[in-house]
Amino acid sequence: MSRTALVSGGTRGIGLAIARALKARGAKVAVLYVAREEEAQRCREADGFRAVRCDVGDFAQCGTAVKAIETDLGPVDILVNNAGITRDATLHHMTPEAWNEVIRVNLTGMFNLTRQVTDGMRKRGFGRIINISSVNGQRGQFGQTNYAASKAGVIGFTKALALEGAWAGVTVNAIAPGYIHTEMLSTLTPDLLDGIKATIPIGRLGEPQDVAACAAYLASEEAGYVTGATFAVNGGQYMMG
């Protein structure tokens, strides 16, 4: 049976790779974006995705977007909360605006979208919720108190919601990527990138497809006994017992 998947931040980078992996497994895919209309149009034309503009930090917009997607594609069975931003600064220089915006998008946005689909998943007895955290939400990172806090919150949210959904066939898991070769790293100098690679036992940056493969498994029927877990996709850079 074909499932309907919704991926936030799904028009580029990790989100796009996940959306493509889910489509390759037979899902009907919708993606959310907040800017870059040309990328959204490419997803519509080249990938065949339903691309909907939505600020995930706005609860009402999330409700409208999900309703439109479910009207076109059917109830959302798979939700990937991938949308995220950074506003880096050390805490003694961080503005309230930089703190609040990261929390609003990365953490509250996850609640806003998940709240729209959990009731339906529970009633139908099936759901896959996959939340994208970060290695920096596990270990911290200099100059990222806002981002690290938001991504650590993703993990706590995942564990709590997994307990709520398990009896109803709704699994909830997190993926904590390490340094992935995406646009987010494009501002780093070659020397800095080389320094990062030196800390990764596998010896390279990750690729979006590395994360997408993990997400595709977690979205599958075969992953029905996996819930409340955080999967580290970081090349061995940070290991937790």
Phi, psi dihedral angles at 171 (to 5 degrees): -95, 150
Catalytic residue among 147, 217, 225, 238: 147
Burial class (CB in 10 A: 0-12, 13-18, 19+), 138: buried
Q: Which two tokens stand for residue 82?
A: 């991938």
Look up 179 and say whether it is catalytic: no
Which contiguous run of DSSP H or E holds residue 4?
strand 4-8
Burial class (CB in 10 A: 0-12, 13-18, 19+), 237: middle
- CA neighbor of 58 nearest in space, from 105, 1, 119: 105
CA distance 214 to 233: 8
Q: Is-contact 240 203, C-beta < 8 A?
A: no
The set of catalytic residues is 147
